[in-house]
Amino acid sequence: MDYRERLKEMINERALKVSDRPIFKLSSGKMSTYYMDLRTITLDPEGGFIIGNLIFEMIKDRNPDAVGGLTLGADPISYATALISYINRKPIKPFVVRKEPKGHGTGKQIEGNVKPGEKVFIVEDVVTTAGSSLKAAKVARDFGLEILGIIAIVDREEGGEENIRKEGFDFFPVFKISEFLNR
């Protein structure tokens, strides 16, 4: 099975919402004529399997210790990648970056079995300006993790890649929005 092609079909069938006028409010506050609801794919058994395989293939030769990002968009991507990595006998741990430090207990902002000095990839479902990805990267770096790059399922091509590179990180999108829309 061509995982990338199947994922593209799934996104077209379920996740991409298009309107002739800007009715979709993005996390940045900007209004848009289209929206990518990738949770319809990342929280689906087949979608998780496909995404886990795609991300694992992208990163396995870089020997990361872990993969994670800002909750909630990154969580199913991290878990799927970790599961596929284990099946392939090259385990990569998942981790979660909380939006704010935990308000009780140990007060952690990063959950998972990661330690300072480990090499990680930050993952995200959709990157627009890369605010969420960069927030996760900052928290991970402040914790002492070495960031190998940022991966997104879809790059909306609205400045995110430039913002990521400006902060010194490599960026690896699976798709660019122009592969779905005639803009």
pLDDT at 43: 98
Confirm whether residue 102 is marked as ligand binding: yes
Residue 159 identity (one-letter amino acid): G
Q: Return the closest-CA partner of residue 168 out of 182, 144, 150, 183.
A: 150
State the pTM of this model.
0.95
Confirm whether residue 129 is marked as ligand binding: yes
Confirm whether residue 128 is marked as ligand binding: yes
Mean pLDDT, residues 112-135: 97
pLDDT at 176: 97
pLDDT tens sequence across 14-54 = 999 999 999 999 877 889 999 999 999 999 999 999 999 99
Mean pLDDT, residues 171-181: 96
pLDDT at 183: 52
Confirm whether residue 104 is marked as ligand binding: yes
pLDDT at residue 101 above 90? Answer: no
State what percent of residues in the chain have pLDDT above 90: 91
pLDDT tens sequence across 135-165 = 999 999 999 999 999 999 999 999 999 999 9
pLDDT at 30: 85
pLDDT at 104: 81
Omega cis (within 30) before 72:
yes
Q: What are phi and psi of 63, to 5 degrees?
A: 55, 55
In angstroms, the Cα distances linking 48 to 32, 54, 86, 97, 170 are 27, 10, 14, 19, 24
Q: What is the DSSP letter of 157?
A: S
Confirm whether residue 98 is marked as ligand binding: yes
Mean pLDDT of the chain: 95
pLDDT at 111: 96
DSSP letter for each residue of 75-112: HHHHHHHHHHHHHTT---EEEEE-SS--SSTT--SEEE
Domains of the chain and any CATH numbers:
45-179 (3.40.50.2020)
Compute the residue count for the chain. Answer: 183
Confirm whether residue 131 is marked as ligand binding: yes
Confirm whether residue 124 is marked as ligand binding: yes
Confirm whether residue 106 is marked as ligand binding: no
